[in-house]
Chains A and B, each alone.
Chain A
């Protein structure tokens, strides 16, 4: 072996050593981070960060600032439907068959005046139409036009009690949780976010009745929140003072799967 070859070989050795050392360091780092992700104290710390983010965003956004609204020209030609595309249960199919004439949205829990609203009742309320941007937690956005009844009007009619802090939405789409099919999508918002002027119980999208894939007959639009905070197929609205006793205790289907309850970022 010539001297040049030897040098070449030692260079290659050194390079592969450096590459292996880097790969090893990266693996060690990643394994460490993965282990941390499953440690109780670390997830507790991440929960504190979520509180910090929520507090900071509340400070800047306040209860009344409006999400940007767009023009008809900005409306997406194809608005992606995500999550449940069709609840598919026999009960839901019956509602589809009779055009949701018997669909009711109830308001109960910590209210003085429980309500049971038909679709006609909801449509009879003063409507708000808004062209807004839907931001999915996955990263994509679509702009669409939504028409519906401001949730603030419905909540006001139900007269929330002073101790009510959260508004929980129970939906008609079944979600399988660990092989148990008896779970349905649910979500929750702070009372102030639920009463935000752009939070509506939407029954129209782009001028037409909501399609099944988009949550027919009614879905929540909460325009300062990510998509998973805006449940579709809403049947029951319940005001509560605490989320811990509901389902997985985290305030929503995706929250119970590890997503943050605060969905403003």
Chain B
């Protein structure tokens, strides 16, 4: 018998990474917040169907991604995949450039990665899921996750080096309270 989920603890632990993942997908603060809320609401409604508590995290990321894609389909705004093969062969080794970049630059670079690699990268960096959990989340073989991660990271590295600019500051949805 599985006891009822401690939803409040799950929310507390995972709402931030889920929001960041949603933000990476949607590039919109409001939509990211809505997606995050919706995902937890689905968990609350379907918690009786959750058989393995240890898989809650990947379940949440899977659900959020599914909700995002469902929204895209309903809006019929799914973008065409644009391959950028020129990124794949470049190798940039200046890690100082990356350290000088900010979150906005990283997000921008992530958005520029080929769509086939992007989702794996976003899950890797934003959810901290293992490669096995990413494979389960995306329903693809483990080898596919590894090859996409490898290629995606190379693309990301190249894009970061091209776009890194300290002046680009991402609008933070949560500024600290001050009156």
Do the two chains belong together in a single complex? no
- Identify the A interface with B (CB < 8 A): none
- Identify the B interface with A (CB < 8 A): none
